[in-house]
Each structure stands twice: as structure tokens, then as C-alpha cells.
Amino acid sequence: MKKLLTPKRSLFPVFKYDLKMKLSTLFLLAALFSMQANDAYGQRAKITLELNNVSVGQLIDEIESKTEFEFVYKIKDVDIDRIVSIKVDRERITNVLNQVFLNTETTFNLNDRRIYLVKRAEPEHLAPPEESNVPDKIQFSVNGSVTDENGQPLPGASIVEQGTANGVSSDFDGNYSIAVSSENAILEVSYLGYSTQEIAVSGQSTVNIQLLPDAGKLEEVVIIGYGATTKEKFNGAVSKIDNEKLNNFSSANFEQALSGNVSGIQVLGNGKNPGENSVIQIRGLNTLTAGTNPLIVIDGNPLSEGSSFSSINTQDIESVNILKDAASAAIYGSRASNGVILITTKKGRQGSLKVTYDTYYGFQNRIDNFELVDAYDAALFDSDSRNFGYVSGGPGRSINDDNATRDANGGGKRSRIPGYLQGYLDGQAGLTNTNWTEAVFRTAAQQNHYLNLSGGTEKTDYSISFGYLNQENIIMDSDYKRYTANMQLNSQINKRIRFGITSNVSLVNSNPTGEAGWSNYGLGERAQPDPSFSIILMQPYYPIRNADGTFAIANQLQDNNDNWDGPISENTVAQTALTDFFERRLRVFGNAYVEVEPWNGLKFKTSLGGDFNTIFTEFFAPSNIGNYRTPVANNLTQAFENNARRENFITENLLTYNKTLDKHTFDALLGFSYQEESFFNTRLQGNNFADDNLRNIAGATNPSSIVNRSKWALESYFTRLQYDYDGRYSLSGSFRRDGSSRFGANTKYGNFASVSAGWTLSNESFFPEDGLLSFSKLRASWGQTGNNQIGDFGSIALIDPDNYVVDGQLIPGSYTETSPNPDLSWETNTALNVGVDLGILDNKLLFTAEYYKSKTSDLLLEVPVPQQSGFSQSLQNIGELENKGFEFEIRGNGFEIGELQLGFNANITTNQNEILALGEGQEQIIQNNGGMNFLTKVGGSIAEFYAYDIQGVFRSQAELDAATVTPLAGTEVGDYVVRDANGDGQITPDDRVTLGDYNPDFTYGFGFNLNYKGFDFSAQFTGIEGRKVSDRMVYFAESGEGFFVPTKHYFDNYYSDRNPNGIFRRPDFSSFSSAGRLTRASSLSVYDADYFRLRSLQVGYNFQESVTDYLGIDFLRIYLTGNNIFNITNFRGYNPDALDTRPDPSGTRGNRRQTLTRGWIQSASPLTRFMALGLNVKF
């Protein structure tokens, strides 16, 4: 340690020429360049430190031993015995010193390799020697503040006059004052984790500086399981999204903001209602029948699969870290095979109370391509379908036959031409022409309010927030209101003990819309209508309301039950408006912890967390309105009330130890966790009420109740060891042992291990220090994870009550519904990941490339068992599948062109899955959903569409008679020509072929952000290529069957006398040829679902300080934000990201329907564009 003013060595280093007579000219030039460049050493040099509770003197010794810096100071001016702790990784020395001497009487001046420590009050006592770069004459004084992107102060930020050693650091509230040599000086401002900025003074006495996060910094902290590290040190695959990126997409659910921002992630499925969960898929599908949800961990609390994300206010989230490879996720063991998402909520910051208020108000509307015909085209289609069906039903029939003749010829009701069609067929103007699509969908308002209070002292920080979201659904008579509160408190009680608590409360009141095809809470056919699907059953020649304003009820059903066999469903607008569906969700979750550090480097942390969720649902359908094929006279009132309660507790104990010995750094973790969840549900239901105004279920003719209980528990032991040598070589290994109540008696416990290694080439001595490439690392990882999402009682026999007859008497009893399997265990995913990370231009540009390959073994599949067992199938661990692919990401930040700051990002991901094995003797699984078949076979992909390949339409009887391939039985003129795929000369089910699958060939995203003076602009794009889907609504609307209103696309392209070159089969409302039914599902009903989308857009302006000072506030920003600004796709349905998310019909065996028929869209909601104007204020 140096204690004298006079340094022990010259300002410039002395070069040793041990081989001076043999050095080449090249080495001499290199040495000369080094001498010229060494003035910049102080600004270029970076250091890695991890010191706990050491003196300032020891810290100085450590810095001098690791760098070329020398400290010069007077002992009386510096408290070298003060105890400090610091942990930085490759950080600038100025930022390190600012952190160490923040809020002390000591400051510093940096002159190349010398660091002068001086008292803040008398810096002139330590003027550097004559070779210093400190300006000889101070001419101008500048003051101001340094804040982050949210207007929060940054204490300890470094402000240095460029080209000199003249510098200061910002104080506790982010304020600074510096005397510079000229009014044209340039200030270089830096802070840990933020992009350094160069600010021209330009004669201004007040210069306020806002720093932006350095998204490309390798020193950026990322959260991993039970800890944190930096991108530079981490050997696994992790992606991080910060608060700013999340809030660029305005949604009730945070996961919508993930799409397109990082590689390897797909956000799928759009619920009918605001706040409904999306499906998050990380690196493909790793299962066939178990759950596909990633594990969600919020502030250390793992949530149950299927938990609602809407209870989390996106504005409360500080960051989202996604663990994508098995080595990263293996610390979570049996729940991590689908990846892990770690959410960190906002915490307080050191400083005085800061209040933030953010609000926006906007509107959303549909932007899909689904378009139905109007009443005039519908009438023509209806007439064609009845004529085709009638004429093809027998010889001697003509489309010119009147209805009496048609009846006489045995045509029936479906061959008659309804009288109400004639005016439309004649083109008569002014007839009813209802646009049911416009009636069902609306431009919906959305408003959001968010208030945050945060602050702290040196020992305690706090953050309290409140949120309110009011979102109308674009579907009529449906809305969503959410109230949230979040609290974070952390306190350093003394030198050794730290305490913290976090809690989140949410209340949601909503009026959901229905979902076509759901089990409807056991109510059978009658349930909340699904108007977004029902519009294809709403004939446009029927009005919504009568002349007196009342709903036009039973008009369509009357025509169905009278003489025409016409429309089959009730007025969907009236159904939706008169049926009540209400849901209230109350959720409280959080945790508390105590952390003790008995001695330096060793910490013990114990925490207790809980998640309490209650859901109340109320449904009432009156008797004064019809239903599907059910007129008012035959309808009954139906109602139910549902109360559900879920309680989840978790306790964790963690012991961590970190130690640095010379160049060796060790981090060790040992942990225990126990989590338990119970679920309780009661439902009361009934029908046939005496009076629709008396809605008490006790008044129903046949009230009934259903009670459901379940429970599971998980016990876990885990450990991890991380080792780093000199920042060059790193090694990490983890092990977890899980015990789950869900699995068989013989397989309660499972083991999951991982290992990873990394080599940081850029920290090697041979790596060029001043080259274009500033960082380079190779890394690889291997690990095993599990999947326990099979339901709570998958391994044991489930009992159902049943009655049986003995001696003529009915005896109550029960039977075993499912086959028990005491050996049932989790699926195991074994994965390899290889990656390379490159930093360019001092890490302003970061490039990452990954290759991953994973194999899931012990797949949970139903396999045949001997009949004498009493069962036909048993759930067993058998089968394998593989996923592999590449990920590429590039991120740039900190680029400046004058006063313009630029950042950008881009990513692309490929994924291929292959079935390696199924059950013994089983080569394929064929699953049907809605008429579409899906094939999962060994050597193929998951859930490939499996249907006939259509080659054209038989346009005449002569063409049909001349066919060289025997067509499907019942094929008529106007039916499809099917390809003879197997070449046997006849069309049979064996001619079905695979037609692609839902998994895209690749996904991509890119975006950029600009900042110019007070303006900011950001945009994020996303897209997919190679996805196939089949949509139930489009499927029926383009089937040609007369019950459904056709799409404009089908109407313009079906075969008829008017359009002999049409590509779709002729419409038919009468005979429904067997060939026509068999080819409903075909290559024409498998659709390309590729798209390119402007996912988010935001433009903002930060008002200058003159305005905020006048208003008495710290920060003011207005912004325009938007989601899904445009969507370019050929898909004719509502949304190419939609999925069938209905539960499995059995309700006991996981998610077979969701995975084995993935790509089938049962009932979707349109993609929506959202635009809003917002305001952000801080004071």
C-alpha cells in the first residue's frame, strides 16, 4: 500500500528488453503504440473483485495486486480502516471507486495509472504532478442530476471531463457538481450496468443526464435458481427481459411481452377473455401426454402448473429470466423439463421517497382475416346448396323444380327453397342484411393505472405499488377488472442478519364469454354461448332486434323447426346479453425470509412462502331464449355456482458459501425445500326454475352438488458447486433429489444432475486487448430434468361410485376407473447445450449462438394390458422423443450518432422434434379432434396432420366415369379428387398423408430503440415460418354444408355453374355425400399459419427539466404505445397462434388432447390491435 505523495515508479512504465538484440521491428512498433495509448489505461481498465467485510486498506492492496494502478493519498485524509464489501465483475475502476467511496468524505482523481484519494472539501491539497491531465484553469461550473431510464436517481455515478482526470461522483440523490475547463467541455458519464454517455456541455450550467440500461453488458446480473450471477460467468442458456421491454407490450399477462424478444420462446394460444393464460413453449415440446407448462418462480416461490399469470401486474416486474437448458434448470429437478421462468419483482432503492404514477388509456380492435359473406351472397350459397343436394339425390330432378315438385320427388325440407330467399336472389334492395361479426365484436376500451412508492436508507429499502386495469373484451358483454397491490421490504438488521418480506394481492372481477366445445361445468349442451364461433350459424337475413327494440328471439329456430330446416341456433347476440356469467378471483401470495451471515462468505437463509387462491363463478341462463336446436318452448333455466380454493405452502432453507483464494473462486449451495398444495372445489347446479327472477339454486327442480378435493406434496434436497479460475475457466455442477406424492409407491424419489463448463478466451493473455473482438467465450452444459405434470393421482386407482343389482335390489357400490401403477415415475429429459458468446466493440455488440439437443425418455403413454386385469390400457413410462435446434441472438446497445442513441436486437430459432420410440409393438398413435386426424409415429414429428391430399374437383359425370383411380365410395360430381398416395388404384384411408404440423421450421424476432434528445422510439417485430393449423370455424365455414354461413374465400372459389374452375367442392345441404363427409378433413382444411407481425411499438417524449421544475415534479413523460400494429399472414382464421387448450376429456390423465392434436383450433378469439396514450410522472 502506498502512503507517500511521491510514487515509487515513473509515470510511464519501463519496458524490459530481455531479447533486445533479437526483437523484430514489429515488437518495437507495438511497444511504441502501447506508450502512446497508455493515457487511456485508466478509462479502459476493468477489474473483478469479490471482497466481504475487508478494510479500505485491504481493498487498495487487492486492486494494486490485480492491476497496474497505484494509489496516492495522505493517511489522515482517508479512513483506511473502514469496512467495505464489494462484488464486481470486469467493471471500470471509476465505477468501483464511486461505489466504495459513496457518501464518504473521500473522493478521487484518476490520472492514467495513478489514483489520487483526497478529501472532498479540499481537493486542491493533492494536485497531481506536472504531467497530470487535470486542467490548469477552471473556467466553467456545471451541475445537475444523473437518473436511470425511469427517472430514479443513480448515486455514485461517475462524471468525468473527457480527456482529463477531473471527475466527481453523484451524491445520495443522484446530484453532482463539477468545475470544467471550458463551456464546450464534454462529460463522460458512467454507472454500473448502464451505457456510458458522452454529453456536450455546450454552455449549459445545468445538465441533467439520463442513463439507459446496457442490454448488451456481460456484467449484467441474471437470476438463476437460488442465486444470481452475470452473463459473462454463466455457462448455461439463459435469456433476460427487463422491465422496460416488458412494459413496451401492454397486456393483462406478462407472458405476451416475451414473444419475439428472445430466442427459443413461443407464446401460443389466445384466450377468449382478457387475463386468460397463454401457453409458453421453450425449445419445443418435450412430452406427449404430460403437462407442457414451464415452471414459474416468482421471487423464489415456485407456482403450481396452470397458475394464472394475470394476478401478476407486469409493471411490478423488474426482470424475467428464462432458463432454457437442462443444466440451468436442473436445480429445480422434477418440474423443470419444460424450462423455468424466474420472475423478480421490483424492490426499493437507496434514497428518499420516490413516487411513480403511470397511466394509459386506449382501444383495441380485431385485425384478423376472417370474413363471412353478406345476406345476398349467403342467399345464393343457400340456394346452390339446396339445389345441388336435391339434384344429386336422384334422377329426373331439376334445379327449376318448385317446392311442391321437390316434395313429391322425396326431396324433403332441406331441398326446399325458402320463400324469404327470393328477394335476395332477385337483388331486391333494402332487405335485412345483418353483419353478425360487427354485432358480436366491438372496439373495446382499456385503461390502466399504476402507482409505486419506493425508497430506502443504507440498511432498509421498500417498494409499495397499487394497480388497476379495466379492460373490455372485444367480444360483446364481456369485461375484466383487476386490482393489484405489491409490497417489498428488505432490511439489514445488523452486520450479520438480513430480513425481507414480499407480498402480492390481486382481485379480479370479470364477465367471461363462453368457449365452444367445453364441458361447460357439467351442464351439457346448454352453457354460456360462444358468439365468436356462433357467427357462422347466424344467417345475415335475420335481424338482431325487432322493430320495438326487443331482441328478435326464436326467428331462426322457428324456420329450422317449420318447413325449411334452416338455421339451427338462436340469436347469439341475444343469448350473450341475456345469459349471466360472473367470475371473481382473489389471490394472495408472497414470502418472508431471514438471512444470517455467521462469518464472511457463509450465509444461511430460511424462507416461508404461501399462495392462496379462491375462485367464485356464477352462471345463469334464463328460459326465455332458445338454444342450439332448442326453441324457447322446450328450453329450461339452468344455473350453477362454483367455489374453488387452492392453498400452497413452501418452506426453503439455503446454505451458501463463497470464497476467493488468489485466482480461485468457489460458490457452494446446499438446500432443502418442502412444498404442499391442497385444492377444494364445490359446485351447486340445477335447472327448471319456477321463476327466472328467483335465482336461488335451491329453487331448481333438481338441484345437485359436486365436491372435489386433491392434494400433493414435494420434498427436495439440492446442491450446487460453482468454480472459477481467474475469470478464464469455469465449472459448475448441481444435483437435486425430489420426492413427489404424485408417483408410484416404488418410485417416489428421483435424482437430477447437471454439469457445465466454460472457457473465456478473452481473458487469456494471448487475446488481443484492443481488438475489434472484446469478449469471447465457449461453453457447454449437460443436465437432466423431470416432468411431474400428470395430475395428483396418476399412479393410483381412481374409484367412481356406481350401483349394481343383487336379488332385484339396487345396491350402491363403486368401481375402479383407472389402472394403478406403483412404478409410475416422471418423464426424464436429458439435454446437451453448446454455446459461444462474442462481444464486439467493447461489448456494445453481443452475439450468441447455441446448439441444443434433448431426449425425453420414460414418456407417459397408455399401453394395452391383458383383459383379465379389468382394464384395456395402463399408464406407463415408455417411449422416447427428441428435440434439437439452433438459436442465434445479436444485441447492440450504446451506439451513438451525435445525440442519437441506438440499440437493436435480433434472434432466430429452429426446432425439430422426432419420435424415437413408443410403446412395445406400437409404431404410431392416431388421435382425432373435431374430425381432423393427427399422426404421431416413430421417425416422425409430434401431431402431424393426417388427411387426404386434394388434387381437384370432379367437374362432370364424364370426368368421374373416366377416373383411373377408384374414388371414395359415394363420390359425386362436384366432390374432391383425392390423390392415390399409395398407388394401389383406389382411394382408401391408407391414402391419407402427413400434411405438416404446428411446430414451425423457425421463429424470429427483431427490434430497435432510438433516443434523441427527449424523444424515444422502440419497435419489436416477430414472425414464424413453416407452421400448419386447422381451424374448426374456418373448417366448417368452408365445408360447403348449408348449415354454416360461408367465408368470402369459399364463396368466391367453390365449384358451380357460375364458377366451373372453383377449387372447393360444391355446396350441399341435402344429400351430404359420404365422400364429402370423409374429405371434410383434407389438405384444403390444413392452413399455412406463417406470419410477420409488428408486435409492439412505443413513441415517447421526456419533458425537459425546465418543465418539470415549473410543475414541481422530477420526471414527466408522455407516450403512445401499441400492440400488434400489423399482422401479415395468409391464414383466414382469427389467430395463427391460437391453440385448443381444453382439458383432456377423461380429466385424469394430463394433456393428451393438447399435445397429440396440437394445431387444432377449437375456438379462438381474433388477434387484436391495441393503441393507447400514456403518461408517466415521478416526484
Lowest-confidence region among 65-79, 126-140, 209-223, 670-684? 126-140
Q: Are 589 and 298 in contact (CB under 8 A)?
A: yes
CB atoms within 10 A of CB 3: 12
Q: Are 324 and 330 in contact (CB under 8 A)?
A: no
How many C-alpha atoms does 469 have within 13 Å on its Cβ side?
Answer: 25
pLDDT at residue number 360: 96
**Residue at 370: amino acid letter:** F
pLDDT at residue number 135: 45
Phi, psi of 958 (to 5 degrees): -65, -40
- In DSSP terms, 445 is beta-bridged to 363
Query: How much is the average pLDDT of 979-986?
Result: 95
**Residue at 881: amino acid letter:** L
CA distance 291 to 210: 45
Strands 976-978 and 638-661: unpaired
CA distance 417 to 260: 52
pLDDT at residue number 42: 59
Most confident of 72-76, 125-129, 698-702, 785-789: 785-789
Cell of 567: 338455421
pLDDT digits (tens, 9 = 90+) for 543-560: 999 999 999 887 777 666
196 pLDDT above the threshold of 50: yes
Q: How confident is the model at residue 1146 (pLDDT cuts 50, 70, 90)?
A: very low
Q: How confident is the model at residue 1141 (pLDDT cuts 50, 70, 90)?
A: low
Q: Tell which phi-psi region holds residue 449, choosing left (phi > 0), alpha (psi between -120 and 50) or beta.
A: beta
- Percent above pLDDT 70 for the chain: 89
99 pLDDT above the threshold of 90: no
129 pLDDT above the threshold of 60: no
CB atoms within 10 A of CB 952: 13
Query: How much is the average pLDDT of 973-979?
Result: 94
pLDDT at residue number 218: 59
CA distance 396 to 960: 19
Cell of 421: 330467399
3-class SS at 653? strand
Cell of 1043: 348449415
CA distance 724 to 758: 9
Domains of the chain are 1-86+100-129 (3.55.50.30)
pLDDT at residue number 530: 84
**Residue at 40: amino acid letter:** A
Q: Which residue has the higher pLDDT, 524 or 293?
A: 293
Question: What mean pLDDT value characterizes the chain?
Answer: 85
Query: How much is the average pLDDT of 205-232?
Result: 76
How distant, in Å, are the alpha carbons of 572, 712, 865, 871 from that of 798? 40, 15, 17, 12
Please report how the helices 93-100 and 56-66 are oriented relative to each other, as an axis angle in degrees rounded to 10. 170
pLDDT at residue number 515: 58
**Residue at 88: amino acid letter:** V
Strands 1160-1161 and 1028-1031: parallel
Query: How much is the average pLDDT of 996-1025?
Result: 95
CA distance 794 to 1092: 41
Which residue in 1143, 1046, 1043 sits closest to 386, CA to CA? 1043
pLDDT at residue number 562: 60
What totals of helices (H) and strands (E) does the chain contain, helices first?
A: 19, 58
**Residue at 367: amino acid letter:** I
Q: How confident is the model at residue 826 (pLDDT cuts 50, 70, 90)?
A: confident
CA distance 98 to 108: 9
629 pLDDT above the threshold of 80: no
CA distance 928 to 926: 7
Q: Which residue has the higher pLDDT, 480 or 65?
A: 480
Calculate the dihedral angle through the C-alpha atoms of 801, 806, 809, 814, rounding to the nearest 10 degrees: 0
Query: How much is the average pLDDT of 816-840?
Result: 90
pLDDT at residue number 4: 35
pLDDT at residue number 177: 87
CA distance 324 to 236: 8
Phi, psi of 29 (to 5 degrees): -65, -40
Global model pTM greater than 0.85: no
Q: Are 1021 and 1005 in contact (CB under 8 A)?
A: yes
Query: In the block, which residue shows the cell 493473455?
Result: 765
First-last CA distance in the chain:
45
40 pLDDT above the threshold of 70: no
134 pLDDT above the threshold of 50: no
136 pLDDT above the threshold of 80: no
Q: Which residues have a Cβ under 8 Å from the Cβ of 13 and sit 6 or more positions away?
A: 38, 68
Q: How confident is the model at residue 33 (pLDDT cuts 50, 70, 90)?
A: very low
Q: How confident is the model at residue 158 (pLDDT cuts 50, 70, 90)?
A: confident
| Element (DSSP H or E) covering residue 352 | strand 351-366
Which residue in 438, 627, 623, 620 sits closest to 525, CA to CA? 627
Cell of 681: 372445489
Q: Which residue has the higher pLDDT, 253 or 539?
A: 539
Q: Which residue has the higher pLDDT, 811 or 609?
A: 609
127 pLDDT above the threshold of 60: no
Q: Tell which phi-psi region holds residue 474, choosing left (phi > 0), alpha (psi between -120 and 50) or beta.
A: alpha
Alpha helices in 1043-1120 (DSSP H): 1048-1053, 1074-1078, 1105-1111
Q: Which residues have a Cβ under 8 Å from the Cβ of 841 and sit 6 or more positions away?
A: 772, 774
Q: Are 813 and 852 in contact (CB under 8 A)?
A: no
pLDDT at residue number 92: 79
Phi, psi of 544 (to 5 degrees): -80, -40
Q: Which residue has the higher pLDDT, 428 or 127?
A: 428
Q: How confident is the model at residue 1011 (pLDDT cuts 50, 70, 90)?
A: very high
Which residue in 1103, 1137, 1143, 1104 sits closest to 998, CA to CA? 1137
Cα R_g (the chain), whole angstroms? 35
Query: How much is the average pLDDT of 764-791?
Result: 90
480-515 burial, b if ≥16 CB within 10 A, otherwise e?
Answer: bbbbbbbbbbbbbeeeeebebbbbbbbebbbbbbbb
3-class SS at 378? helix
Q: Which letter does DSSP use for residue 423 in this model?
A: H
pLDDT at residue number 1164: 85
Query: In the block, which residue shows the cell 419483482?
Result: 345
Query: How much is the average pLDDT of 725-747?
Result: 93
Q: How confident is the model at residue 1043 (pLDDT cuts 50, 70, 90)?
A: confident
Which residue in 373, 559, 371 sits closest to 1045, CA to CA? 373
Q: How confident is the model at residue 290 (pLDDT cuts 50, 70, 90)?
A: confident
Q: How confident is the model at residue 225 (pLDDT cuts 50, 70, 90)?
A: confident
How distant, in Å, are the alpha carbons of 429, 630, 673, 799 from that of 650? 69, 50, 7, 30
What is the sign of the dihedral through the CA atoms of 169, 175, 181 and 183? Answer: positive
Strands 227-230 and 238-242: unpaired
Query: In the block, which residue shows the cell 391430399?
Result: 949
pLDDT digits (tens, 9 = 90+) for 1152-1161: 457 899 999 9
Q: How confident is the model at residue 220 (pLDDT cuts 50, 70, 90)?
A: low
Q: Are 345 and 450 in contact (CB under 8 A)?
A: no
**Residue at 1055: amino acid letter:** Y
Strands 295-298 and 301-302: antiparallel
Cell of 949: 391430399
pLDDT at residue number 874: 80
Q: Which residue has the higher pLDDT, 522 or 212?
A: 212
pLDDT digits (tens, 9 = 90+) for 266-283: 998 767 888 888 889 999
Query: How much is the average pLDDT of 890-897?
Result: 89
pLDDT at residue number 528: 59
Q: Across the beta sheet with 1028-1031, what order do the strands follow? A: 1087-1088, 1028-1031, 1160-1161
pLDDT digits (tens, 9 = 90+) for 249-261: 878 788 888 888 8
Q: Are 173 and 154 in contact (CB under 8 A)?
A: no
Which residue in 390, 426, 438, 611 sits closest to 1072, CA to CA? 390
Lowest-confidence region among 311-325, 398-412, 507-521, 585-599? 507-521
Q: Are 133 and 39 in contact (CB under 8 A)?
A: yes
Query: How much is the average pLDDT of 889-901?
Result: 89
pLDDT at residue number 7: 36
Q: Are 770 and 848 in contact (CB under 8 A)?
A: no
797 pLDDT above the threshold of 90: no
Q: Which residues have a Cβ under 8 Å from the Cβ of 708 and sit 6 or more positions away?
A: 679, 680, 681, 682
Query: How much is the average pLDDT of 324-328?
Result: 92
Q: Which residue has the higher pLDDT, 944 or 95?
A: 944
Phi, psi of 769 (to 5 degrees): -75, -35
Q: Which residues have a Cβ under 8 Å from the Cβ of 1109 and sit 6 or more positions away?
A: none
Q: How confident is the model at residue 217 (pLDDT cuts 50, 70, 90)?
A: low
Lowest-confidence region among 207-211, 661-665, 758-762? 207-211
Most confident of 628-642, 868-882, 919-933, 1132-1146: 919-933
Strands 704-725 and 729-740: antiparallel
Query: How much is the average pLDDT of 304-319?
Result: 84
627 pLDDT above the threshold of 80: no
CA distance 222 to 219: 9
CA distance 1083 to 978: 10
| Element (DSSP H or E) covering residue 407 | helix 403-408
- In DSSP terms, 468 is beta-bridged to 449, 483
Q: How confident is the model at residue 563 (pLDDT cuts 50, 70, 90)?
A: low
